[in-house]
């Protein structure tokens, strides 16, 4: 569906495919679980689970914040690390491509 939409609006097919790989229903659970576990590494384990029937509003609020804080911290950590790695890889590829392009221009000038 993403590729079809990208074709219709003349978008980037590669980015459309990667976007569906990252954010489709099959990857939600593993990504949230990974981010939560990373958050637990920094903030420690969450409180023991209470029985749902016995939760009061205050307890639900507390448990919700414990889960959400770990998920947000883990997501931010994952995003910063993967974004930094992606940035470094793109920078390296751009420099490599610029060198190749520069050498190509130099060889064409020498042939004249």
**Which two tokens mark 83?**
């974004």
* DSSP codes joined into one string, 19-73: HHHHSSHHHHHHHHHHHHHHHHHHH-PPPPPPPGGG--HHHHHHHHHHHHHHHHH
Predicted structure pTM score:
0.62
Yes or no: say if 35 and 78 are a contact pair by the CB < 8 Å rule. Answer: yes
Quote helix, strand, coil % in the chain, to nearest 5. Answer: 85, 0, 15
Tens of each residue's pLDDT in the chain, 112 residues: 778 888 899 888 888 888 777 777 777 888 889 999 999 999 987 555 545 455 566 776 777 888 889 999 999 999 999 999 999 999 999 999 888 877 777 777 777 6
Domain boundaries, given as residue ranges, for the chain: 2-83
- d(Cα 15, Cα 19) in Å, to the nearest integer? 6
């Amino acid at each position: 569906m993403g590729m079809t939409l990208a074709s219709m609006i003349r978008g980037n097919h590669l980015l459309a495919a990667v976007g569906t790989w990252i954010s489709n229903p099959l990857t939600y659970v593993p990504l949230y679980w990974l981010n939560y576990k990373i958050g637990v590494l920094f903030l420690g384990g969450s409180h023991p689970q209470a029985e749902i029937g016995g939760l009061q509003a205050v307890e639900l609020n507390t448990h919700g914040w414990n889960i959400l804080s770990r998920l947000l911290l883990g997501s931010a950590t994952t995003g910063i690390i993967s974004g930094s790695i992606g940035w470094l890889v793109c920078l390296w590829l751009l420099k490599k491509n610029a060198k190749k392009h520069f050498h190509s221009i130099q060889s064409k000038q020498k042939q004249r």
